[in-house]
A and B are shown apart, each in its own frame.
Chain A
Amino acid sequence: MVRLRSIAKTFFLTLTVLMAFSFLNIASAQDGKALFSANCASCHAVNKQLTGPALAGVEDRWPDKAKLYAWIKNNQAFLKTGDKYANDLYNQYNKSAMNLFTNLSDKEIGAILGYIKAYKDPVTTPIPGDPKGESSDNSLLFGILTLVLAVVALILLQVNSNLKKLSDDKEGVPALEPVAFWKNKAYIAVVIVILFIVGGYYTTMGAINLGRSKDYQPEQPIYYSHKVHAGINQINCQYCHIGVYQGKQATLPSVNVCMNCHMAINEYKGEKIINEDGVEINGTAEIQKLYKYAGFEEGKTWDATKAKPIEWVRIHNLPDHVYFNHAQHVNAGKVACQTCHGEIQKMGEVKQQNDLSMGWCINCHRETKVQFKDNGFYSIYEKYHADLKSGKIDSTKGITVEKIGGTECQKCHY
């Protein structure tokens, strides 16, 4: 027994440590991921050659880390140094020049490389915050258990009253007329109270969920698969959702943006697309739907003025009295798209991952750290900087959104 306990102890300790590490990794890889998708993903993938080479193992390939950093920052300048590896690479890829990233700091490049190193091909993992599986099984178990116990209690009560009656008979105490248990006021009261509590619970929960639409996955006018575009082909989110860094709305791409690629890509040759109902989707037919909206006939030059807008069904809705700004979160806060939208790169038709309730927002604001040291805006919080240095504020917890007023009403309601 003692031995077993110590084994369990070690096990839990290891698990905790592992978990902690994995979370830390996620935290730094998150930045790398965002940076990667913002800067590199339009030309590079990790395990796949696109315009540029696949980046897996890039650090090992390069002879010198400093050279790699210099290359990433300003490849044109680096080429002029006459470095052999770099010039070979340049020639190998038909002298197609890489963009300049002079604005990336060494730290940011480090984060990107860290992300590439840690990158594993996506495997299905349970999405956090999705109460499926165990928890529901448990509740069923508890339910059955409660029910059994309740029946046992009822039987025991009946037995008790029968025994009491027998003993009363024996002692000659005049017995009251027995009352059937369904007429017993105490039972009725208990049942009513239970019904009230259970009913009240469900009514309240139902009422709270009014107007929320978690798991909403409407059928769209075109079966547009984020999995194919953002997942398999690794198109940067910003290529289509141009507003996400600038403003309130992430914005949906207009038809001409779709046509930028689909003028050339007119058939779907990838793996089979199976929709939620298990029906296979013909990708090429879906592209034809796009052509219809665009007023495009293959083989002819496209007249963009003939395009008609596509009426997508809006999935993520917030009430009118909520102000949400994408730029604030994605640009200033460096929050990855997936944090709110789930593993969008694995979704066929988009499904609402979170309930977008206020509690959900507030929770995140309580836990998420702001870019306190990286963003110059926060330099005015001198007191917090001093406290962080002196250890008055727990640096692992850091400065959360809440700490700088992110849970106050008028941050979102005005």
Chain B
Amino acid sequence: MSKKHWQSFGELNNSDAYKQSVKDEFREDLPMEAADNGFLEGKTPRRDFLKYLGFSTAAAAVAASCEMPVKKAIPFANKPEDIVPGIANYYATTYVQDGDAVSVIAKVRDGRPIKIEGNDLSPITNGGTSARVQASVLDLYDTSRLRFPLIDNKEVKLEDIDKAVAAGLATAGNIVVLTSTVVSPSSKEVIAQFLAKYSGSKHVTFDAVSYSGILQANEASYGKRTIPSYRFDKAKTIVSIGADFLGTWLSPVEFAKQYAVGKRIDEKKPEMSKHFHFETVASLTGSNADERILHRPSETGSVVAALLAAVNGQAVSGLDDKLKKGIEKVAKALVATKGESLVVAGSNDVNVQILVNAINEALQANGTTIDWSATYNTRQGIDADMVKLVADMKAGTVGGLIIYGANPAYAWFNSKEFVEALKKVKVTVSFNTKADETTQLCKYVIPDHNYLESWGDAEIKTGYYSFVQPTIYPLFKTRQWQDSLLKWSGATTDYLAFLKTYWSGKVGGETGWDKVLQDGVINPAAAVITTASFNAAAVAGASAAISSYKKSDKIELVLYQKVAIGEGQGTANPWLQELPDPVSKATWDNYLVISPALAKTLLKIDLSVGGEADAYEVQPPKHVVEITAANGAKVSLPTLIIPGTHPSTVGIAVGYGRTEKLGKGVLADEGGKGMGANAFPFASLVNGTVAYSVADVTLKDTGDLYKVAITQTHNIYDTPQGNRTEVMKELTLAEFKHNPNEILEERDKELKPYGGIANFEKEGTIYPTFDRPGIKWGMSVDLNTCNGCGACVVACNAENNIPVVGKIQVAKAHEMHWLRIDRYYTGDPENPNVVFQPLMCQHCDNAPCENVCPVAATNHSSEGLNQMTYNRCIGTRYCANNCPYKVRRFNWLDYTGADSFGDNQQPLVDEGGLNEVVLDMNDDLTRMVLNPDVTVRARGVIEKCSFCAQRLQASKLTAKKDSRPLEDRDLKVACQQACPTNAIVFGNANSEKSEITTVRKANEKRLFLSLEQLHVLPNVTYMAKVRNIEEEGEHHGAEHKGEEKKEDAKVEHAGH
């Protein structure tokens, strides 16, 4: 029997291995030997067991009866006024990395930044963050940061390096400052001052993933080499052609927020925006689309041209029928909502982007959904500049190269040429914080501060300023790159003084400056959407150029970015590496993405056959395939079969295959090699811009196998009959409009024998019910606005000291994330719809885990919390076994170094049971990121989502200090705070005024409880996903299961 929603192909086919895996909570057997011969014959017979027992008791007694250590309490010598030990301070600053800039608030506890939150005052992100922003605090404490200035890889003093560089630059000749995009207006001025001092010098911007195409297209169409603001919130029809705007494209946090506006449903007037997505390889945005249309990468130009034709009412030609129909439908929808339509494209091809501009013009998007009043400064690199720079370097006309942020030795499509050319440059200076691929080749290295140690500013969009202020004294002997440039340009002031002078006039002196530092942002007065005049001259040329593009009939390759890893910024960050990729749910690795159809021909795996799906999915090792392109690029990578990928297209994420000097996070489990492979060499220069796709690659199954740690098949569960009711509900907008009460009716029908929805709590059980006076905590998750980005997961890691377990342990289903995002597919296995469901402890009021704990380590609080007491837990894991949601996590090993007996991690690392990265996470430096309010768990205990108990307690105390009832403003849990779309709402459900109560009331008809019929009474409510498609799909949820399901509910109930 097949299900409507499925998480894996095994589940779709109800295969044997799937059935096996849902039977057991823990998939490996306990390491008990010789169980068949009896324990006496085993390697550890009873007598030995008694000996060990005796010895360990004695040892523990001896260890424990040693004298108590004398602890010191050392106060400040002179206490700074605003630091009180134990009380966190919050500083507004800005996350700046390679052009990306997000206004944030850093939580600083006892002088250490430990958590990053979004800044609510920024109208761009409105307090939203991304996984990368959340994880950036860990980069501050990265053990592989460069700690001092280097000349030829030897430590030197700052004065010495200043002298040497100054001398070098004076005689070097033409100097080039090569940076990633600089969003800081004052830094640009610093660069200008530096350039003014050295004649013949210039500034080149290099973005690892280039936006050159769109910048140049806008220059051609609008006369401005910049990118306008997009207003997804104003658009009723959104069409994206390969732009992953919710995940990686341009300003994902902002777009996610805007996109959610159109996806949030008002039950009284159910309307939603409609999102069509054209794509080649499954992406986060494509997974969220209402309709996804697959095409070949080489067809991108034709698709855009056809769409332009269709929008203008002309015939579509030159594409296959399916695609043609799709385009006609999309065009119809776009035209129907003229003035409220928006088309974006991720292509770096100038011609494609010119046609996209023409489409948007035809749709009157310019001035409605495209706003030229503020333009982005976050991507400024022009590929032609970089090409010229490499040519100049090669020709020997560049005497000095000063690098900040950019890493072309890794990310430039022709990095070999760059590396060769770099050898001809006399003076090479790098300001990068780590010994990345380019920095390793530079003679002089003066590492820059981390952004949390820096001063600065950022103009994210024109008029939208965000400020950077240090939250900690620099940890190492590093210096801000602007300081170095100022010094070398002969200025006597340092950058802080420079910055203050730059701003004090603009913000009104010292008080004004203090105010902007406190707020962190300066926003323009109420923004009015403005248009830019469109110049259609370039359209004809672009159309003609596109029509001459060759279409491939071979296997094509696309390079894409992962949400967490990006262009490579997240590669060395263990939190980001362990975050399962939203689309593939794989951790720690790079891989080749192929479609199920291609798997049949290439790997001889037919996923629609149960047994073959098992061979692929349940066995972690994946087939390694060698990918070769005509330009000589060649890598071997494991393959993952991801539905939603075009059958003739394969994809590789960039950002992997890094140098091991970036940290333990990039190491594979075997050998000292960097994890994955670098995909940038597959890129090529086409028509003056870098193209991130290859029209013809050869794939060869090497026959090797490679383990990839994928979490999607972990934590699954089913009844012995295999007919478990689905934990998630979805319906179409048409269905919802037709019968808004469908979910309510379905719930009521299901619960009727047990008292219906209203009386289910009392009548569904033989146990008494309890009063909940005071506070009752509750959470609500809107599946419609959740896009699966993973910011909440990383925020949870940071807030709750969740250990990193490393790839080996993830592969054993030992990941520790308290919050996971489940990915469900529905529909066509080749191009399915996707639903993401964040699942954390549901804090059931009638929790099955609580009843089975032999030591009452997990029990219920009067506020509705399912409490977990680590110091009482003895690790029987009965609770995890009995949890229907599979959200409890067991500390299989000493992941945190918190055991009373130390040094038991190194042997495990030596044996190969644990990745070195776990040791690295327990380094004294890295441990500075730990939240002191949360216990670091030791080996052998269960842990799970606590609803951020520490924040709940703190919020109550705030209210008590003010002698007033608790209010929403006192509290945000970590996942809620991180969420860019406000999909998660949390608060006191007993209060009439709280947001949780209003949200639950306003969305009554979409509200459901996961596995409600079990009578576990969760305190987390979900709001069903509504997909905006016209066709009334088959019935959602588990309705088709009919009567037998009720039987099942009874059986399960009796089981508790």
Contact = CB atoms under 8 A, between A and B. Distances in A.
B964 A377 contact: yes
Contacts of A377: 956, 959-960, 963-966
A206 to B, nearest CB: 8
B32 interface: no
Interface string B728-766: 000000000000000000000000000000000000000
A50 interface: no
Given A249-B85, A414-B935, A409 B859 contact: yes
A327 B958 CA distance: 10
B862 A380 contact: no
Contacts of B934: 414
Contact of B869 (A379, A382, A410): A410
Interface stretch (A28-36, A73-81, A280-288, A317-325): A317-325
B870 A255 contact: no
A308 interface: yes
Interface in B948-972: 949-950, 953, 956-957, 959-966
B961 A327 contact: yes
A310 interface: yes
A256 B73 contact: no
Interface string A360-400: 00000000000000111111111110000000000000000
Contact of B950 (A211, A256, A323): A323
Interface string B674-714: 00000000000000000000000000000000000000000
Contacts of B77: 254-256, 293, 304, 307-309
A293 B77 CA distance: 9
A312 B74 CA distance: 6
Given A255-B78, A377-B956, A313 B70 contact: yes
A138 B123 CA distance: 75
Max chain A C-beta neighbours (<10 A), residue from B86, B861, B867, B950: B86
A410 B946 contact: yes
A18 interface: no
Given A256-B78, A312-B74, A413-B935, A380 B953 contact: no
B861 A410 contact: yes
Contacts of A218: 70
Contacts of B965: 376-377, 379-380
Contacts of A242: 84
A167 interface: no
A375 B84 contact: no
Interface in B802-851: none
Contacts of A42: none
Interface in A322-360: 323, 325, 327-328, 331-332
Max chain B C-beta neighbours (<10 A), residue from A309, A377, A404, A408: A377
Given A376-B965, A413-B869, A404 B78 contact: no
B861 to A, nearest CB: 4
Contact of B867 (A317, A374, A409): A409
A374 B70 CA distance: 41
A253 interface: yes
Given A243-B87, A321-B870, A414-B949, A380 B75 contact: no
Interface in B33-88: 64-65, 68, 70-79, 84-87
B601 interface: no
A213 interface: yes
Contacts of B72: 311-314
B865 interface: yes
Contacts of B933: 248, 323, 414
Contacts of B774: 378, 380-381, 404-405
A136 B220 CA distance: 96
Contact of B86 (A248, A310, A311, A408): A248
A58 interface: no
Contacts of A323: 933, 950, 953
A255 B966 CA distance: 38
A246 B954 CA distance: 11
B726 to A, nearest CB: 31
Interface in A85-117: none
B871 interface: yes
A160 interface: no
A93 B73 CA distance: 40
A238 to B, nearest CB: 12
Contacts of B84: 242-243, 246-247, 249, 251
Majority secondary structure of chain B interface residues (helix, strand, loop or mixed) = loop
A375 to B, nearest CB: 5
A410 B935 CA distance: 12
B881 interface: no
Which bucket holds chain A's interface residue count? 35 or more
A105 to B, nearest CB: 11
Nearest to B80: A254
A409 B935 contact: no
B872 interface: yes
A410 B86 contact: no
Given A248-B87, A323-B953, A376-B965, A253 B75 contact: yes
B957 A328 contact: yes
Contacts of B959: 377
B797 to A, nearest CB: 16
A405 B75 contact: no
A210 interface: yes
B871 A413 contact: yes
B768 interface: no
A405 B862 contact: yes
Given A210-B65, A211-B68, A410-B865, A332 B76 contact: no
B535 interface: no
Contacts of A379: 965
A413 B963 contact: no
B56 to A, nearest CB: 15
A401 to B, nearest CB: 12
Contacts of B73: 252, 312-314
A305 interface: yes
Nearest to A258: B75
A289 interface: no
B75 A254 contact: yes
Nearest to B856: A409
A411 interface: yes
A378 B65 CA distance: 44
Contacts of A331: 960-961
A104 B72 CA distance: 38
Nearest to A320: B935
Contact of B85 (A210, A243, A310, A325): A243
A147 interface: no
Interface string B243-262: 00000000000000000000
A118 interface: no
B862 A408 contact: yes
Contact of A317 (B71, B865, B962): B71
B869 A409 contact: yes
A195 interface: no
A342 B936 CA distance: 32
B86 A249 contact: yes
Contacts of B869: 409-410, 413
Interface string A295-316: 0000000001101111111100
Q: Which 4 pairs from chain A and chain B are nearest by CB?
A: A248-B86, A332-B960, A254-B79, A410-B867
Interface of B: 64-65, 68, 70-79, 84-87, 771, 773-775, 859, 861-863, 865, 867-872, 933-936, 946, 949-950, 953, 956-957, 959-966, 988, 990-991
19 contacts: A243-B86, A247-B86, A248-B87, A254-B77, A256-B77, A307-B77, A308-B77, A320-B936, A325-B957, A332-B957, A332-B960, A375-B960, A375-B963, A405-B774, A405-B862, A411-B953, A413-B870, A413-B871, A414-B949
Given A309-B76, A311-B72, A319-B871, 16 more contacts: A251-B75, A251-B86, A256-B79, A304-B77, A309-B74, A314-B72, A331-B960, A332-B961, A377-B959, A377-B960, A380-B965, A380-B966, A405-B774, A408-B867, A411-B953, A413-B869
